[in-house]
């Protein structure tokens, strides 16, 4: 935006300079050569044409600048929503971790750990919203840098989801599930660091 403003200011300065110097030179030449009124009319017409072209130039740049700013504001709002989605998911993942840690010393089967299963259902709901929003955001911004962490995230989520489906009704001890689940959960969280860093660039409008 600052570059465009600087360009417009320079263009305006040059046009004003040309107008002032051109008028001075024309006035001097008119007095010395005693040109007719037709010549003056021609000069006024030339100035009018120049002003019209300059106005069009300014309008194009101002419209382009407005459009870019509008898109930046739109992307900023979308990025903030995604940031909040990630925070929600991270909080649920922490709750899942705590649920396993608190119950690991008990002689419970994973299938009996109702608190974990409730949180997992909530996690799936949040993840569905997040994935839909993120895919739309990537389509809007056409930011290729988001594809790698997005693909890493979806791959990790698939592995985590498959593990849960296989062990949902199992009689595995919670302590066993805790050690098996930990790397899968951490793998799911890893892409969030990259995603939040990239979303930050959209949230802060420059």
For residues 113 and 173, the answer to whether their CB atoms sit within 8 Å is no
Task: Give the pLDDT confidence of 155-204 residue by residue, as tens digits.
Answer: 999 999 999 988 878 778 888 888 899 999 999 999 999 999 999 988 88
Task: Give the pLDDT confidence of 51-76 residue by residue, as tens digits.
Answer: 666 656 655 655 555 556 767 888 88
> What does the alpha-carbon distance between residue 167 and residue 4 come to, in Å, rounded to a whole number?
59
Here the tokens at position 158 are 């698939």
Here the tokens at position 41 are 């009319």
| Angle between the N-to-C axes of helices 37-103 and 114-141, in degrees from 0 to 180, rounded to the nearest 10 | 160
Query: Where residue 91 falls among pLDDT bands split at 50, 70, 90?
Result: very high
């Amino acid at each position: 935006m600052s570059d465009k403003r600087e360009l417009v200011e320079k263009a305006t300065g040059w046009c004003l300079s040309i107008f002032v110097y051109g008028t001075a030179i024309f006035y001097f030449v008119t007095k010395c050569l005693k040109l007719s009124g037709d010549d003056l009319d021609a000069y006024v017409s030339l100035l009018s044409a120049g002003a019209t072209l300059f106005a069009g130039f300014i309008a194009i740049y101002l419209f382009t600048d407005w459009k870019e700013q509008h898109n930046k504001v739109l992307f900023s709002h979308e990025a903030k929503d995604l940031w909040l989605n990630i925070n929600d998911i991270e909080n649920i993942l922490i709750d899942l971790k705590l649920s396993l840690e608190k119950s690991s010393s008990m002689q419970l089967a994973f299938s009996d750990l109702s608190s974990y299963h409730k949180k997992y259902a909530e996690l799936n709901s949040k993840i569905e919203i997040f994935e839909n929003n993120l895919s739309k955001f990537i389509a809007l911004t056409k930011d290729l840098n988001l594809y790698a962490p997005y693909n890493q995230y979806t791959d990790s989520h698939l592995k985590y989801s498959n593990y849960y489906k296989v062990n949902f009704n199992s009689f595995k001890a919670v302590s066993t599930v805790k050690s098996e689940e930990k790397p899968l959960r951490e793998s799911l969280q890893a892409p969030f660091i990259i995603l939040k860093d990239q979303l930050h660039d959209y949230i802060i409008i420059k």
